[in-house]
Structure 1
Amino acid sequence: MRSPARLRPVTAAAALALAFTAVAGCTQVVPGRAVAAAGGTSGVGQTPTQEEIELGTAAVRAVQEIWRDEFPRSFDEPWRDIAITVPVHTDDPRTDQPPCVRNISEVVGQAFYCPSADAIAWDADGLLPDLSERFGQAGVTVVLAHEIGHAVQSRLGLDELQARSPAQYPTILLEAQADCYAGMAVAQLRERSIPGLPMGQVELDDAMLALVGFRDPLGVAPDDEGAHGNAFDRVSAFQDGFVEGAVRCAEMTLDNRQFTQRRFGSAADLARGGNLPLTDLIDAVETDAGEWFGSLVPGFVPPTIGEPLSCDTDDLEAQGPTRFCPDDDTISIDRQELAVLHEQLGDYATGTLLASRYALAALDAAGEPTTGTPASETALCLAGAYTSRLIDPVGDFSLSPGDLDEAITVLLTDSWAARDTDGESPPDEYGFERVAQFRSGVLEGSTACLAS
């Protein structure tokens, strides 16, 4: 978070301790390339199992089979199979060099599509074992489906369009389209139930977490050359393709696509990695969220942050590290648990959970239920609507680069933000749905949340 000037300066914060490190985007040499994280674990040096080697080939085969049906249905043209699909054994010095690279070392930790050779290649010895270990087969599948998405673009003439009008087709737009096409492919995999490539609800969330791992480094802006998108942008594009299909992906333009990542607004924010200390974050949200949610409900009095006296302790603890007690209009905080979350994911993971509790307080003030699925979903949506106003500064308090990534991560990895005042979250709801409801608020505002 970018803090009000009144907050004290802090020393530089450590990098986010995510289990999946942020990954740099595609290079300009080979469009569509996914590159291993700087300082992260690329998996190089591990010995891939035969199952992991075959998984990449199986995923490419399955996604191409999907496109043989989908491409003519969506674009009224036959699908042309990709000319070269090759797993590259980067640990074997005898490995033949794949197309479009000068040296085999350029493939380490990477997957890419090369339009000039109509080739997809991937590191079978480093990247695939790493993806498989962290995200299961869904991580492997979504990365390769993304690269096949670039092949789809090539078949639709995007290479020529970008060459003629690079400003209209920047890298970030092409990457969003490829994420969108990957979402369509994953949706089809769910419907087809292909043996060896399960794509249930857990795998769907794993696929999205893999995309989070390939977000841009902090501070990259949408108009930077080679920008690919933050976690929010990439997951958003994936969800659009999953829900709406390939035509929706092809229709993406700079006119109808919002990109949310931003540069650092100050040297101080850069120095602390965009993270406020936990106490400062809580104080800032208490003031800012109290005012914003108060604007939604006439007569709303922001809840106080303190120890509740009237609510059942078990219900409160079941809400997670941030809890709203409607009986005495109090938000309570487990600072020890929040400190761990704050350290592991970043400050706006905490901010997202707090925003969802203020949303429940607003529902309570409006005389609406604070329990049940509608309350949970509205709270998620309103947390997104509140977050939207922080993307571009409207005051001293605003998002820093990485904050939306932190929000997406906490929504994918835990149901806390969706829990009602009884500590219950909607049954059979996973991260995909939580992110979708949060996105609705971010993109459409509070009106969409309160429409029902």
Structure 2
Amino acid sequence: MGRVSAPIDRLAGLVAAVLILTSACSQVVSGNARPLATAPTPATPASTAQSDPAGRVAEATATALQEFWRAELPAAFGREWRDISSFTAVETQDPATPPPPCVNRAADLADQAFYCPSADAVAWDADGLIPALHDRFGPVGVAVVIAHEVGHAVQSRLGVDDQQGRDPQRFPTILLESMADCYAGAALAHFAEEPVAGLPLGLQERDKAMQALVGFRDPLGVAAGDESAHGNAFDRVSAFQDGWTEGATLCAGMTLENRTFTQRRFGSEADLARGGNLPLRELLAFVERDAAEFFGGLAPGWDPPQLSTGGACPVPELAAQGPAAYCREDGGVAVDVAALERLHEEIGDFAGATVVAGRYGIAMLDASGRSPVGTPAGAATTCLTGAYTDRLFDAAEGFQLSPGDLDEAVQVLLAADWVARDAAGASDPADHGFERIGRFRTGLLEGAAAC
């Protein structure tokens, strides 16, 4: 965060994967290809799927996706599915490998993958990208990327390519990418109900699919209106969630009028120079003031507490809530500076801000007569944290969100349940990152009244 604008960094353990995936989605190849990633089918001439687990998952997923869309396209849109012309697993590290459609050399596909509308072809790096996805996220990391690319093929079959050619401003890249993320969510939701052999897709895998999408976010500072924009982590994960819960018809109905894109450029040279991250103690001072003002306004007559490193509650009781905690005995909010420093270093400044804001939410619930203990309290405070974040988009004074701040919130909500813990340190065992991000989105988009 920054005085005028501020971003965030990366989730610990995702750094290597993010570097690979960011390159995968940011490069441009010829032939109007849309990069992200994709996978092989049994008909793939150069397939190496039989010799490696990642390749086998890719092959099985591509086959299952074709089967899904053969049924779904007629059911949802009244159109017959035309099988994709080719899926190609490319051995990018072998100089003798022939190039796939739409690129000049196999090496051009290193660490990336794409769907090419002009050839109706999908191709991916079988030596780098697909194995890296499998190693970091398991089979679902491969599956979500393939499903995204096939989502672009769905767009072609619904005539979006022709419409974009006639009116490119109506269908910018970022909207097409959100549609494809949404179609991926719809397909994977189907696979969760009707499992594909070798592709486990439970609630933990659903979160891993979203973690993989985080790695495909745009570089910090790319604005939603930029020609090359694909979306930040918040927008991409949101689109995936909408496809998962609402299905393919919602994806096809996405427009610039009904879709909110949240990424932005840096607001100042100073914020750009520091990568959007404030020093922790400066950040905490801003959050203490702004969170007190926001949450205090939701409970008239309540005097929100200042942050401290302790209070009346014993340390184990505070620690149960995470890096920040609400103490019912004295009404204070305590922070574990060392734990927040680690979050700051591993993810970025707004990860810690999100956790601290959640404790102000729990404190506000208690002050307003609502119980701060129990799963409803955790659900409400996650939503309220989203509402608090919304006020920072264009705050008149203090600090505003920087390009990566929402992505940092997404990452900490995926990584841990701290924001959703109640005053006793408990959270709903049925909740996962998917649900936490969903409630955060509700508060961000609809405000505190929706919480």
TM-score (structure 1 length as normaliser): 0.92
Deviations 1:114-139 (A, max 9, x none): 00110011111110111011111111
Query: 2:2: which partner in 1?
Result: 2
Q: Is it true that 1:21 corresponds to 2:18 in the alignment?
A: yes
Query: 1:284: which partner in 2?
Result: 286
Query: 1:192: which partner in 2?
Result: 194
Query: 1:404: which partner in 2?
Result: 406
CA contact (8 A) 1:48 1:129 kept: no
Deviations 1:47-78 (A, max 9, x none): 99521122111111111211111111110111
Structure 1 residue runs without a partner (length 5+): 36-46
Query: 2:272: which partner in 1?
Result: 270
In the TM superposition, structure 1's runs of 4+ consecutive aligned residues that sit over 4 Å from their partners are 12-18
Q: Is it true that 1:338 corresponds to 2:340 in the alignment?
A: yes
Select 1:129's aligned residue among 112, 116, 131.
131
Select 1:104's aligned residue among 94, 106, 109.
106
> Whose RCO is larger (CA < 8 A, sep 6+)?
2
Question: Residue type of the partner of 1:135?
Answer: F
Select 1:81's aligned residue among 69, 83, 86.
83
- Whole-angstrom distance in 1 between the partners of 2:396 and 2:123: 45
Deviation (angstroms), 1:307: 4.3
Q: Is it true that 1:261 corresponds to 2:258 in the alignment?
A: no
Question: Residue type of the partner of 1:3?
Answer: R
Query: 1:172: which partner in 2?
Result: 174
Deviation (angstroms), 1:291: 0.4
Query: 2:298: which partner in 1?
Result: 296
Identical aligned residues as a percent: 54
Select 1:327's aligned residue among 320, 326, 329.
329
Deviations 1:164-222 (A, max 9, x none): 11111100000000000000011001000122011001110100000000000000000
Deviation (angstroms), 1:16: 7.5
- RMSD (Å), alpha carbons: 2.1
CA contact (8 A) 1:57 1:87 kept: no
CA contact (8 A) 2:29 2:102 kept: no
- Whole-angstrom distance in 2 between the partners of 1:210 and 1:289: 31
275-284 or 308-317, larger mean C-alpha shift:
308-317
- Whole-angstrom distance in 1 between the partners of 2:323 and 2:191: 36
CA contact (8 A) 1:290 1:303 kept: yes
Question: Residue type of the partner of 2:448?
Answer: S
Deviation (angstroms), 1:4: 6.4
Q: Pick closer, same or farther for the CA change 1:394–1:159 going to 2, 3 Å.
A: same
CA contact (8 A) 1:13 1:273 kept: yes
Query: 1:61: which partner in 2?
Result: 63
Deviation (angstroms), 1:354: 0.7
- Whole-angstrom distance in 2 between the partners of 1:257 and 1:14: 25
17-26 or 408-417, larger mean C-alpha shift:
17-26
Select 2:243's aligned residue among 241, 244, 251.
241
TM-score (structure 2 length as normaliser): 0.92
Query: 1:347: which partner in 2?
Result: 349
Q: Pick closer, same or farther for the CA change 1:4–1:34 going to 2, 3 Å.
A: closer
Deviation (angstroms), 1:296: 1.1
88-97 or 52-61, larger mean C-alpha shift:
88-97
Q: Pick closer, same or farther for the CA change 1:312–1:369 going to 2, 3 Å.
A: farther
Equivalent pairs counted in the alignment come to 434
Q: Counterparts in 2 of 1:333-412, with a 5 A limit?
A: 333-412=335-414
Deviations 1:210-255 (A, max 9, x none): 0000000000000001101100000000000000000000000000
Q: Is it true that 1:421 corresponds to 2:423 in the alignment?
A: yes
Q: Pick closer, same or farther for the CA change 1:28–1:102 going to 2, 3 Å.
A: closer
CA contact (8 A) 1:13 1:272 kept: no
SS at match of 2:80: coil
- Whole-angstrom distance in 2 between the partners of 1:316 and 1:141: 40
24-33 or 80-89, larger mean C-alpha shift:
24-33
- Whole-angstrom distance in 2 between the partners of 1:392 and 1:407: 17
Question: Residue type of the partner of 1:338?
Answer: L
Deviation (angstroms), 1:28: 6.4
- Whole-angstrom distance in 2 between the partners of 1:180 and 1:71: 14
CA contact (8 A) 2:4 2:268 kept: no
Query: 1:231: which partner in 2?
Result: 233
- Whole-angstrom distance in 2 between the partners of 1:115 and 1:307: 57
Deviations 1:84-130 (A, max 9, x none): 11111112223221100011111111110000110011111110111
Deviation (angstroms), 1:308: 4.3
Structure 2 residue runs without a partner (length 5+): 38-48
